[in-house]
């Protein structure tokens, strides 16, 4: 009682001062002295000796007392608490009072005197001298009290560490909100190609943490080329945690230090593995909280191995020492281990081989985006380049504004193939491409099969900048770009859009589908493109033939903005999902991995076997819910391929029959056209599937290959262009595949024993039949029926299809197609239908929309009855104004479909012209005028014209230069301005130039000579050259200068009279429908 000061005072009073002469003083033991007889003369000398000895003794006692006082002066103030102030924040740690008192006593005792040395004397023996100091008395009442509660050194250090960690940090330079102190994690991960993450591997000693971590390190570093580092408890204890023991506090501190080190490594983009036992849940949770606070991915991996297993393993011999009692407090035996409650990954590695554990870890890292360096918000693999591309304008206000803008822009017409490619780039299937290739991008694609990519825009928006041939600074990242995606245009279009900051991309109906910004027009070196892409010479190759069409000598590159989602109105749009929609569909099915299977053929049992086998392989790798993307190619294909609608309907029946179960299958059309470029193209097929979230791609023999279409040097028609095994091999070894992995397979055969498709068993080769695609097509065309129980080897001769080869309803769909191949109404590929702007007085069939050969637009009168635009509509609005006539619009401005009134059909509807069963289009460029006809006119072939030419046997053609775009079938009052006389194969075809009566130009222009500068030369060029892109020679004009308005009006009158004569005498042999 009384505090430290009182206790020390008692110790000094009872133990120290008495020893030092303040109290009982050591006495001389006089009784022990023996004095020998001496001479009288010696007595004085002996007395002096004793006197000197006593003096020395007294002096030494004084020195001992002084030393005790000094010790007390030093120790006593240090033990006093502060009196006038509160306890200091940095007060010294508690003092062990007993230790201080004991040390003071020892010092005092050490000062006690010893007997002086005996002087030399003549007489023996020398008198004895004994001086003794008493022992230090015991102080039980003071020493015993603090001993019970006194902490050891480790506890003192732990308390001090806890206090230091809890203090506020001052004068520390940290990033303030909004301040950029270092490269952000997202950009860092994009640049280095991986994302930092901490794998916290916890488990008992011997549970496999180090073994699996070492195997994972080898896989990531040597096979995948990733920067990875392992932090192990043993190597930490040689340095960073060398000062720590195994107490709970020291274990917590070890975990804290390791978590901070791991966080630094992971923030730098390193995949960091921490292999610590870390037995306490709260310590691991603290490590997780640290990472979450800093926005660093953290993954707890629990090595779930029973104690009995790790005791049997005992790689360090520690469990044996525990059993002998040599180690106490061992985790899992006589010290606790708290298993994780919510670990991201649990590995029961006593039941799994090491490689399978590594597979699961790699899967988890892939799902977390650690191996790509790109964001993966939905857990699926990111697209190439890590950037999700979606160029579709969907917001209503923005969409309306873009469409109004498109009406004012120069037009670039698109073919069916161009529309397919537009969908590919606009929906992100060719990521990171955001539009049609600029010239620099094309050059890289042709020479490297890849393009430079600048996601961080450190090179000044490289991805959308016009090609600079003197550029010296380039991005460092390169992504796969195997096939050229270009927009070919004619020289006419090139000049039409020259200097424009943006252009509108229009379809065959003249409807704007997209806006292309900052167009870059360049010469398209088609032969170079063909040779470097296809690696062969075959001008009859179907896609090469499209590229070689005359007139398309230039290309337009630039980024696009889609004016809404591209649709085709062919009944299959429900299966056309954008990349974002498809990823959402996969997640809705709970997919933890997606594998894609592409097909441009009907799915038979062999295909189904491969797709199901691929799923089993993925589940064996540890995936729980692999989802199949059944991915029919939807874009342009060659004429001999199975039509898209047949394939989709057949796939539906396969899924309905359970061959490919809907629970783990998503069928979605991939929009790309097919270019048949073999090993080069299949790389694009795989790359593009990544945009939809696929991590695996199932690939077979001869992907994207086909035979030669003509004879040539070193080959004959029908020879394979590419070796059947090269495509798969090139794909699987390609440097540009990124994170895509492949599930290859060999040829499958029909097993006659169990009626399934599988790989051939060489022990019984006679039981297997090869059913090639050509054999399947022949059997379908023969309407083959199911085979008898004994399967014949020659299926063609037997005209039977073996059971189990294909789902029966699916086979019926395929067979129906091949039976009615020439007469059926099929959807060959993704081709836009409908969308043609029709006037209110027009009627068409929904079953035969625009885009189909049978499309028909009928005219109806006020009562709803059909009428003829040629015969029932009046030529002149008023008889008193012969310079004004009624114009019937057949082709709106910008449309490319060759629409015209059908003279032979009842009621003369408007239909699209055809040639050999194929629809015809204007391919020269977007028309800048409305095109149509004048009712009640006819150019009589019996009448002679310029240089002996004759009439072209049609109603008069009209070119309307009004600013207003008309609708198909719309009739407008127009003013005649002149006539250009086209000479075509001996026929004289008048082209009457008009302007809408309500157009401002009508008031100022009396003839074609009054048209704005440049309009007439454009008309002349168009009429002369519009057939050249079809491989035909230029047309000729009677004159490049239009006739006068009066002369044109006379031509109209003459042709009206010819029509009247035709009506009067009847159709005769003309075949015309005259009403």
Q: Evaluate whether 756 touches 609 at the Cβ level (below 8 Å).
A: yes
Kind and range of the H or E run holding 283: helix 281-293
Residue 614 phi/psi, 5-degree rounding, is: -60, -40
- DSSP codes joined into one string, 374-423: S--TTSSPPPGGG-----B---HHHHHHHHHHHHTSPEEE--HHHHHHHH
Integer CA distances (angstroms), 368 to 49, 148, 462, 736, 903, in order: 97, 54, 29, 21, 66
User: Closest Cα partner for 583 from 684, 662, 666, 671?
Assistant: 666
CA distance 707 to 310: 61
Number of H helices, E strands in the chain: 30, 37
Task: Tell me if residue 147 falls in helix, strand or coil.
Answer: helix
Q: Evaluate whether 968 touches 910 at the Cβ level (below 8 Å).
A: yes
Three state DSSP letters for 1012-1062: CCCHHHHHHHHHHHCCHHHCCCCCEECCCCCCCHHHHHHHHHHHHHHHHHH
Residue 16 DSSP class: I
Three state DSSP letters for 28-91: CCHHHCCCCCCCCCHHHHHHHHHHHHHHHHHHHHHHHHHHHHHHHHHHHHHCCCCCCCCCCCCC
User: Closest Cα partner for 279 from 308, 261, 309, 303?
Assistant: 303
Q: Evaluate whether 847 touches 866 at the Cβ level (below 8 Å).
A: no
CA distance 330 to 318: 9
- Residue 294 CB burial class (10 angstroms; 0-12, 13-18, ≥19): middle
What are the helix (H) ranges across 758-807?
Answer: 773-781, 795-798
User: Closest Cα partner for 262 from 215, 296, 234?
Assistant: 296
Kind and range of the H or E run holding 998: none
Task: Tell me if residue 649 falls in helix, strand or coil.
Answer: helix
CA distance 589 to 1033: 58
Kind and range of the H or E run holding 208: none
Q: How many CA atoms lie within 13 A of 514 on its CB side?
A: 31
330-336 contacts at long range (C-beta below 8 A, 24 or more positions apart): 330/205, 331/204, 331/205, 331/277, 331/279, 332/204, 332/205, 332/279, 332/307, 333/307, 335/279, 336/279, 336/280
CA distance 137 to 328: 39
- Residue 797 CB burial class (10 angstroms; 0-12, 13-18, ≥19): exposed
User: What is the signed CA dihedral for 455, 461, 466, 471, rounded to 10 degrees?
Assistant: -90
CA distance 209 to 273: 10
CA distance 649 to 299: 44
Residue 799 Rama label (left phi>0; alpha psi -120 to 50; beta): left
**Which residues are designated catalytic?**
278
What are the helix (H) ranges across 137-247?
Answer: 140-147, 153-166, 185-192, 209-218, 233-236
């Amino acid at each position: 009682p009384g505090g430290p000061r009182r206790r020390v005072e008692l110790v000094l009073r009872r133990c120290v001062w008495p020893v030092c002469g303040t109290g009982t003083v050591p006495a001389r033991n006089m009784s022990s002295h023996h004095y020998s007889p001496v001479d009288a003369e010696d007595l004085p000398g002996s007395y002096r000796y004793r006197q000197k000895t006593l003096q020395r003794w007294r002096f030494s006692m004084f020195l001992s007392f002084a030393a005790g006082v000094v010790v007390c002066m030093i120790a006593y103030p240090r033990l006093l608490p502060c009196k006038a102030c509160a306890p200091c924040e940095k007060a010294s740690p508690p003092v062990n009072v007993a230790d201080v008192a004991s040390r003071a006593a020892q010092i005092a005792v050490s000062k006690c005197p010893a007997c002086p040395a005996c002087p030399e004397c003549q007489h023996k023996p020398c008198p004895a001298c004994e001086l003794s100091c008493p022992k230090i008395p015991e102080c039980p009442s003071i020493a015993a009290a603090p001993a019970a509660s006194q902490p050891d050194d480790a506890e003192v250090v732990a308390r001090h560490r806890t206090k230091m960690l809890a203090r506020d940090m001052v004068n520390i330079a940290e990033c303030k909100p909004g301040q950029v102190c270092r490269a952000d994690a997202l950009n860092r991960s994009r640049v280095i190609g991986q994302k930092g993450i901490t794998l916290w591997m916890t488990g008992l000693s011997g549970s496999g943490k180090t073994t699996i971590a070492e195997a994972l390190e080898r896989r990531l570093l040597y096979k995948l080329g990733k920067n990875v580092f392992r932090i192990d408890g043993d190597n930490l204890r040689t340095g960073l945690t060398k000062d720590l023991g195994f107490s709970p506090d020291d274990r917590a501190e070890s975990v804290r230090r390791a978590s901070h080190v791991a966080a630094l490594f992971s923030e730098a983009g390193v995949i960091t593995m921490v292999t610590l036992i870390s037995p306490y849940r709260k310590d691991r949770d603290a490590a997780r909280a640290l990472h979450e606070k800093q926005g660093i991915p953290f993954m707890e991996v629990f090595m779930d191995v029973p104690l009995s297993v790790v005791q049997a393993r005992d790689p360090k011999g520690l469990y044996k020492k525990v059993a002998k009692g040599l180690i106490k407090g061992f985790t899992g035996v006589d010290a606790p281990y708290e298993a994780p409650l919510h670990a991201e990954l649990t590995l029961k590695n006593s039941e799994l081989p090491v490689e399978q554990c590594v597979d699961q870890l790699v899967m988890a890292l892939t799902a977390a985006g650690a191996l790509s360096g790109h964001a993966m918000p939905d857990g699926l693999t990111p697209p190439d380049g890590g950037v999700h591309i979606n160029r579709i304008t969907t917001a209503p206000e923005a969409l309306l504004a873009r469409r109004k803008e498109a009406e004012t822009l120069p037009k670039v017409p698109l073919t069916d193939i161009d529309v397919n490619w537009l969908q590919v780039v606009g929906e992100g299937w060719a990521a990171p491409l955001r539009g049609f290739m600029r010239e620099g991008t094309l050059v890289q694609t042709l020479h490297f099969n890849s393009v430079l990519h600048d996601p961080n825009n450190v090179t000044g928006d490289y991805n959308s900048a016009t090609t600079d041939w003197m550029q010296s600074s380039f991005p460092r990242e390169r992504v796969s770009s195997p096939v050229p995606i270009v927009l070919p245009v004619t020289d006419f279009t090139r000049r039409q859009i020259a200097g424009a900051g943006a252009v509108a991309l229009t379809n065959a109906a003249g409807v704007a589908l997209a806006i292309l910004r900052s167009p870059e027009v360049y010469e398209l070196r088609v032969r170079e493109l063909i040779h470097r892409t296809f690696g062969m010479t075959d001008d009859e190759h179907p896609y090469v033939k499209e590229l070689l069409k005359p007139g398309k000598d230039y290309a337009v590159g630039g980024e696009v903005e889609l004016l809404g989602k591209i649709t085709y109105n062919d009944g299959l749009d429900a299966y056309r999902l954008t990349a974002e929609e498809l990823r959402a569909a996969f997640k809705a099915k709970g997919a933890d991995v997606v594998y894609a299977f592409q097909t441009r053929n009907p799915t038979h049992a062999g295909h189904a076997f491969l797709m199901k086998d691929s799923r089993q392989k993925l589940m064996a790798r540890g995936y729980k819910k692999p989802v199949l993307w059944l991915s029919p190619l939807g874009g342009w294909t060659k004429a001999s391929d199975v039509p898209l609608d047949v394939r989709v309907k057949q796939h539906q029946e396969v899924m309905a029959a359970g061959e490919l179960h809907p629970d783990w299958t998503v069928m979605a059309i991939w929009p790309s056209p097919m270019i048949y470029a073999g090993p080069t193209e299949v790389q694009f097929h795989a790359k593009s599937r990544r945009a939809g979230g696929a991590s695996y791609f199932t690939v077979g023999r001869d992907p994207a290959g086909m035979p030669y279409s003509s004879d040539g040097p070193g080959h004959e028609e029908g020879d394979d262009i590419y070796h059947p095994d090269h495509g798969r091999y090139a794909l699987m070894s390609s440097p540009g595949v990124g994170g895509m992995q492949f599930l290859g397979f060999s040829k499958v055969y029909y097993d006659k024993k169990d009626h399934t498709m599988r790989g051939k068993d060489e022990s019984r080769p006679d039981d297997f039949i090869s059913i090639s695609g050509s054999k399947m097509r022949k059997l379908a065309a023969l309407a083959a029926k199911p085979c008898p129980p004994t399967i014949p080897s020659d299926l063609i001769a037997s005209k039977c299809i073996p059971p189990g080869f294909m789902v029966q309803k699916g086979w019926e769909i395929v067979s129906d197609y091949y039976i009615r191949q020439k007469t059926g109404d099929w959807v060959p590929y993704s081709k836009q239908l409908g969308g043609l702007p029709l006037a209110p007085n027009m009627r068409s069939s929904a079953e035969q929309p625009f885009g189909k050969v049978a499309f028909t637009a009928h005219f109806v009168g006020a009562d709803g009855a059909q009428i003829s635009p040629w015969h029932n509509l009046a030529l002149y609005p008023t008889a008193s104004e012969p310079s004004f006539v009624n114009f019937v619009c057949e082709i709106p401005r910008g449309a490319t479909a060759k629409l015209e009134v059908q003279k032979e059909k009842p009621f003369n509807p408007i239909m699209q012209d055809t040639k050999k069963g194929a629809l015809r289009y204007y391919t020269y460029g977007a028309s800048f005028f409305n095109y149509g006809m004048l009712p009640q006119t006819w150019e009589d072939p019996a009448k002679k014209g310029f240089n002996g030419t004759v009439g072209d046997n049609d109603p008069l053609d009209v070119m309307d230069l009004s600013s207003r775009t008309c609708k198909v079938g719309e009739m407008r009052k127009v003013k005649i301005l002149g006539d250009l006389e086209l000479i075509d194969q001996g026929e004289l075809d008048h082209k009457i130039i008009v302007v809408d009566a309500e157009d401002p130009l009508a008031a100022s222009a009396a003839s074609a000579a009054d048209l704005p500068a440049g309009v007439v030369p454009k008309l002349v060029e168009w009429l002369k050259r519009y057939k050249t892109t079809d491989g035909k020679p230029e047309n000729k004009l009677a004159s490049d200068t239009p006739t006068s308005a009066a002369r044109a009006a006379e031509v109209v009158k003459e042709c009206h009279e010819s029509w009247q004569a035709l009506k009067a005498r009847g159709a005769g042999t003309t075949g015309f429908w005259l009403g």
